[in-house]
A and B are shown apart, each in its own frame.
Chain A
């Protein structure tokens, strides 16, 4: 049976893809950012997930204003990196997992989530930057990816509560897939940033770190944070953090953090990431059981 073994929350700043692709990731500016992911890269090598359900937002690459799906799931065989205005990133095509993706899509729809199904699209930095941060420079991505795209561009985006509930439904869908698969769920994007208007450059470290705190343990207070609070406190693009709640909802009642990192600045934004284990104290132990699960919490 497929099982969710971990969740990752991670910003997806495009500049990080550029820095990596140009070999600048250990420069003075970028080193404090990339060093925060060293632990996670080693951990991923040990974890060897089969599939990542990667929650992200498209930034006017696969979707333009013609069609704006609130929740969309990629069921394709593979996805090419998108040209975002400066040519596609020189990274491998992203392999999909159509069997699990179609299964999850069906399950979510029966669970009353109106998913848009995508069979062909290109994926932008929202999806490829987190892969680079977690897996580094690779000839092929060592994992299959199910892209799950969320509209956080045109208002209103889905509520935090709805995102959390979608995560819970993803957990039910994965648990009912008969093949034995190690599945991770990633929620990407976000942390403080505002890319527009005279208030651009807003950073709220206190709020961001309180949000990270709220992902750990058995509280579900984050699902009730309204959109306006993200916008007031973390900037207009900080709304992307609702996508982390899909990841969090998929991990069950309780989580333990096994790695955490936060840094300002990264281009116009704060960069944060957190690695969580489901720790439900319920009948099913969904922890992966690797040595990494005993690793100390890194502040």
Chain B
């Protein structure tokens, strides 16, 4: 057995990772329609409708006002907090013509150029970002 039997202990640990939103069942439940909206953009005709009038297309989905506003603002950290999943949100930034690097860098507080330079230098070190409680 490689996982704890206590699901509450299992889930609690995910909240201890700095700067990370694990896609738990609670987030999956919260973000169901948000992710299904994003998923709809795999169809070219839906991408065209979305691009023609984002607010009108969003209005067809039962999202919260917060989710709609965060989506229109492309506030990806906020969208993760509201139940978004990065693989689903990828349909949105792909439709925007953005790469993973471009979209993901917007969540980190640095510019795209700085983020790319960090990746080219070997990426973000795990030192200091493993655990909130242990500050390492």
Contact = CB atoms under 8 A, between A and B. Distances in A.
Given A160-B2, A265-B122, A233 B39 contact: no
Nearest to B95: A85
B115 to A, nearest CB: 6
A268 B36 contact: no
A111 to B, nearest CB: 18
A143 interface: no
Contacts of A264: 119, 122-123
Interface in B74-128: 76-77, 80, 85-88, 90-91, 94-95, 99-101, 104-105, 107-109, 115, 118-120, 122-126
A199 B124 contact: yes
A159 B87 contact: no
A159 to B, nearest CB: 5
A210 interface: no
Best-buried of A14, A198, A265 by chain B (most CB within 10 Å): A198
Contacts of B41: 85
Interface stretch (A33-41, A93-101, A134-142, A188-196): A188-196
B8 interface: no
Contacts, number: 168
Contacts of A195: 86, 100, 104
Interface in A129-179: 153-156, 159-161
A65 B28 contact: yes
Interface string A82-93: 111111000000
Given A153-B85, A265-B119, A265-B123, A194 B20 contact: yes
A109 interface: no
Interface in A51-105: 59-61, 64-66, 82-87
Contacts of B94: 84-86
Size bracket, chain B contacts: 35 or more
A119 interface: no
A201 interface: yes
Contact of A267 (B77, B90, B100): B100
A3 B100 CA distance: 39
Interface residues of A, number: 52
A200 B28 CA distance: 20
A253 interface: no
Given A65-B35, A84-B94, A200 B104 contact: yes
A156 B91 CA distance: 23
Given A156-B3, A236-B22, A268-B100, A64 B35 contact: yes
Nearest to A239: B22
B66 to A, nearest CB: 18
Contacts of B14: 155, 228, 231
Best-buried of A153, A155, A196 by chain B (most CB within 10 Å): A196
Interface string A110-132: 00000000000000000000000
B77 A197 contact: yes
B63 interface: no
Contacts of B126: 202-204, 207, 232-234
Contact of A232 (B44, B123, B130): B130
Interface in B1-53: 1-4, 10, 13-14, 17-25, 28, 32, 35-36, 38-39, 41-44, 47
A248 to B, nearest CB: 14
10 contacts: A84-B94, A85-B47, A85-B91, A155-B22, A159-B3, A197-B20, A197-B107, A198-B18, A202-B129, A231-B17
Q: Which 6 residue pairs are nearest across A and B when measured between Cβ atoms?
A: A203-B123, A85-B94, A199-B19, A198-B19, A265-B119, A201-B124
Given A83-B42, A197-B21, A199-B20, 19 more contacts: A85-B47, A87-B44, A154-B25, A155-B14, A195-B86, A196-B80, A197-B19, A198-B18, A198-B108, A200-B107, A202-B129, A203-B126, A204-B126, A226-B4, A231-B17, A232-B131, A265-B119, A265-B122, A267-B99
